[in-house]
Structure formats: structure tokens, C-alpha cells
Amino acid sequence: MQAAQPLPQRRVAPLSFPRLAMLASERTLIGAHIITALVALSIGILMGPFQTFRRSPAFMEALPDWKIPVFTYYYQALTIHGVINALFFTTFFIVGFSYFVTQRSLERPMFSRGLAWGAFGMMFVGLSLVLYAIASNQANVLYTFYPSLVAHPTFYIGLVLLIVGTWIVTANIFLTYAQWRADHPGERVPLAVFATLANYVMWCVATIGVAIEVLFMLLPLSLGWITHTDPQMARALFWFFGHPLVYFWLIPAYISWYTMLPRQTGSQLFSEPLARVAFLMLMIFSIPVGAHHLFSDPGVSAAMKGVHTILTFVVAVPSFLTAFNIGAVLERAGRSRGARGPFGWLVRQDWGNPVVAAQLAGMILFIAGGFSGLIHASLTLNIALHNTAWVPGHFHMTLAGAITLTYIAIAYWILPLIRGRALFSRPIALAQIYTWLVGMLIFGHGMGAAGILGVPRRADLAGSGYISPEAATWLNSAAIAGVILLISSVLLFINIIGTLFFSRAPVSEDGPIATGSSDGSPLWFERWGLWLGVMLFLALVAWGPLFAETLDLVNGFNVPGFRPESPVPLR
């Protein structure tokens, strides 16, 4: 696996990957991504419990002067938490995982190692710039960076580098696929790669929105090249990107559930064609639904909100398909472990194997989190819940629950492969997983209940005067969850550091990769150009009118920028 190869028409002999180990070239590239991701997570995650403490009336009564360590300004910590967890940890992890899945499933190296390292470099510089901007108190704008709040230019440049990096990753993966396709005409690409390709197609369409927002509105405003902006337009562009973003995180977790969990549990996928349908639907319908984040916005018409609500229900279908398919995988697994009766398999699972248990715990959270999502996606209920604590309650069961736990499951087998040593401690891993599960359930419930009572999200409640005693109870329970999750995070990092530096035993768990594919799905599922066309068409239909009603070149773009610390406009 060396430097870039020209697009060869010749057949390359399949690269044979070692069992229970990685090639040196694999180890460096994938290791760099996964370890950067986990270091980012360790910074971002720690803020979470501290936020729950600042938001707990009982805690702040006991320690009235308590502040978040290091990042003492609450919203600085919250910006770190959102940006580093949701944007950088996820992206680095996903890219590293995608390289592993692509190379191993297609049994060939990436099209270009140079491109892969170039992209890594860009993303890494991006991460450093963003960290600099936030740590130096010049970017306290949260991970949604809505204008007219303005951050230091390095913040936006860092984000641009991250995104351009992922475009290069996309090109590299597609070129690798093209090479494979040339060697394998008429074959179906393995499911894991199929899903990976769908994910990056979706990502490239989605990032157009945020790229336009950052490059043409925010960065020039921050540099002083332009003086005014339009917050409603910025929010529309952001949420064009924002909903597919959550599927960008989710699809790798689904890849693990669909293609790895069956091997890890000694079962078999129930229906591979419908798995492909699910991924295609996620990809296509991720785009025309983003206005469900704009239900309370004054500049978007109720008609457009209605259209996006209806399509949001459509995009729930692939997750229900997944529930059936993965349910069937687990049923087989349970029965082969001796489960009896119609429901015995629900209990007879491999709860003692960290790699399986983390995914099962994630699924439990996903059921709660998924339904809570359907609830606030309903535009009428959204009025009661938008921007309340309910929303972080929801996405800590999905993003910080199901998705993060599945990434942790992946980390528990991929880190040993990277390091060439077994996972440091299985008991610690199990303790970590179950504390995470319990913590997130208590957290999600507490935040949800507080949200129903009207407690807002994104608020340093230590200084606010509007918390009712009833709501205080739920915020306090979220802080108890914060303690549990703090313990869980420490256990996670003990295992990561232990595996990297102190583990002595040989690797025992292989990368659960399937090569080849035998299902009966039609080959036109892989017409990516066609899907791209469909997505752009849907984008036009669902977003065209919305942008048209938002864009006003005569009366719009009249809002100057502000630093969060001061009500005096910048220019």
C-alpha cells in the first residue's frame, strides 16, 4: 500500500490484510484519525458533567461560587462541548472508520495515501485553529455560530478546513470505489462500503449549505470585508446542512449494526437489500427536512414548515426498517444462545462482551431518543419544546447515546488493532458501558421533564431566576446523571490509555469486516449520479421556495455583527 497509483485498468491482486493486526500503513493512517478523535472527545466530553452542575439548583446552592474548571465562562465550555464533540470528534472518527471499512471490504488500498494525509492535515489544522479561537475566548458562539454573533476568523477558517478536508476524503473514497468497480464489473459493492458511499454523497450535498454560509457570509463579516449579514438566511443555510449532519453521524453507527454486529453476535443479517434501501432513504430524505429546525423562525412560512414536517415522517421509515432488520439479527443471536419463547431473545444477548454490549446499550437509548425526536418533529408539539432542555435530552440519547456508544464499541476493537495489543480491561469497559447507559437514561429523562416544564437549553442556569421547584428536581437529577457520566468518561479514558500504553496481551478481536456481497438487490442502487440528481431535485423543491422567501437583497442583509460580550455593533 504505497503512494498514489494512477487509475489503473489492470487488475490489482487483492491486498491481503493480516488477521488480528493491521498493516503498518493502515495503522498510522487510521490510528491518527481515531486517536485524534478520542483526544478531542476527552476534551469535549468533560465539559458535559460540569454543565449539568451549573444547571442544578441544588449543586449551586451547595457551592455558590463554583465555576467550570479552566473554561470558567459557561458558554465557552458549552462551545467547546458542542464544537469538539459534535463536529470534530465525530468527523475524525468517521473518516478513520471509513478508511478502514473501505480498504478492508474492497481488499485494496485507498486510491491515494497522499490525499488521505493531506485531508488529515487540513482537518487537524482546522481543529487546532478552532481550539485556539475558543480557548482564547474569541469564539464563544456555540456550535451553531448563528450570526449576528461574530467569532474570530480563525474559528471559521478552522471550520472551512474541516469541511474541505472531508471533501477530499470523499474524492479519495470514490476514486477507490471507481478502481474497484473497474475490476469488478457487475458486482455489488459490499454493504458497508455502499453505506459509506451513501454517507459521503449526502455529506457533500449537505455541506454546500454551510460552506456558502461560512465562506460568503460569516468569514467575510468576521474579517471586516463586509459589514452586514442576514441571520435568517444564515439559519436556513445552516439547517440545510444541520439535519444531514446528524445522519452523517448515524450512518457509521448503522454500518456497525448492520454489517459488524451480525458477526460479533454469531448471527446473520436478515435482509441486505432492505438495508440498502434504508441507507438510500436516509441519504435522499436527509435533505428536504431540515426546516424542522426552523419551526419557530419568523422568516419561514408555515407552508414550508408543513412540507418539511411531512418529509420528516418519511425519513423515520429507514430507522424503522433498521429496527426490524437489527431486531431479527438479535433474535437469531439470542436463539442460538438458547433463548426460548417469543421474547426470551431480548434477554439472552451477549451482555458480557463490551463490543456487543456497547451497541445494545446504544440501541436501548436509540429507542427512547428516536421517539422523543418524532415527538418534537411534530410541528405543533415543537411549539412547546423548541429550544427547551428537552432537545439536549433527546440528542444525548441519540448522538451522545446510541451513536457515541457505538463508536465506543468500534474503539474497543479498533484501538487494539491499531496498538497491536488487546483491550486493556474488559470489566472496566463493561462498567463504562453500563454507567453510560444508566447515566444517559437519567440525563435524558431529567432534561426532557425539565424541558416540558419550560426550562430553556443553552443557559447558565446558575444565574437565572426563573426555575420552579418542580423543574429544579429534574435539573438536579440531570446533575446526578452528570456524576455517573463523569465516572463513565473516566473509565473510558482509563481503558483508552491503558490499551495504548499498558496492555500486554495479544489482540483477541478481529475487525468484523465482510468482503463481497451476495444479496439480490438491483444493481441500479449504485447509480450514484442518479441519486445525486434526485437529491438536488428535492433540495430545489423543498428548499428553493424557502430560500426565495428568505432572500431579500433590498431590505435584508442589514444586520451588523456583534461580539457576544457587547451590545455595541462591530462596524
Positions in 32-91 near ligand HEM (CB under 6 A): 45, 48-49, 51-52, 78, 81-82, 85-86, 89
Would you count residue 494 as binding another protein (CB under 8 A)?
Answer: no
The terminus-to-terminus CA distance of the chain in angstroms comes to 53
Query: Cβ contacts of residue 285 below 8 Å, gap of 6+?
Result: 311, 314, 315, 318, 538
Chain centroid to Cα 153, Å, comes to: 25
Q: Can you tell me which of 39, 274, 364, 452 binds another protein, judged by CB under 8 A? A: 274
Active site residues: 243, 247, 394-396, 457-458
Min separation Cβ 489 and ligand HEM, Å: 5
Q: Which DSSP category does 83 fall into? A: I
The dihedral sign for the CA sequence 104, 106, 110, 116: negative
Which amino acid is present at 476?
A: N
Would you count residue 306 as binding another protein (CB under 8 A)?
Answer: yes
Q: Can you tell me which of 85, 179, 232, 404 binds another protein, judged by CB under 8 A? A: 232
Q: Which candidate, 327, 250, 235, 236, places its Cα nearest to that of 285?
A: 250
Would you count residue 243 as binding Cu ion (CB under 5 A)?
Answer: yes
Residue 545 binds which entry of Cu ion, ligand HEM, another protein, none, CB below 5-8 Å type-dependent: none
> How far apart, in whole angstroms, are the C-alpha atoms of residue 358 and residue 425?
14
Residue 82 binds which entry of Cu ion, another protein, ligand HEM, none, CB below 5-8 Å type-dependent: ligand HEM
Would you count residue 530 as binding another protein (CB under 8 A)?
Answer: no
Cell digits of residue 275:
438495508
Residue 243 binds which entry of Cu ion, another protein, ligand HEM, none, CB below 5-8 Å type-dependent: Cu ion
C-alpha count within 13 angstroms, C-beta hemisphere, residue 281: 18
Subset of residues 395 to 414 that bind ligand HEM, contact rule: CB under 6 A: 396, 399-400, 404
Subset of residues 121 to 160 that bind ligand HEM, contact rule: CB under 6 A: 142-143
From residue 335 to residue 374, what is the string marking binding to another protein with x (rule CB under 8 A)? ---------------------------------------x
Would you count residue 305 as binding Cu ion (CB under 5 A)?
Answer: no
Please tell me whether the peptide bond between 508 and the residue prior to it is cis, using omega within 30 degrees of 0.
no
Alpha-helical regions (H) of 224-316: 231-255, 261-264, 272-285, 302-314
Task: Write the burial class of residue 435 (CB in 10 Å: 0-12 exposed, 13-18 middle, 19+ buried).
Answer: buried
Min separation Cβ 246 and Cu ion, Å: 6
Q: Which is nearer to Cu ion, 228 or 458 (CB)?
A: 458
Closest residue to ligand HEM, judged by C-beta, is 48
Task: Write the burial class of residue 558 (CB in 10 Å: 0-12 exposed, 13-18 middle, 19+ buried).
Answer: exposed
Residues of this chain that bind ligand HEM (CB under 6 A): 45, 48-49, 51-52, 78, 81-82, 85-86, 89, 142-143, 392, 396, 399-400, 404, 443, 457-459, 482, 485, 489
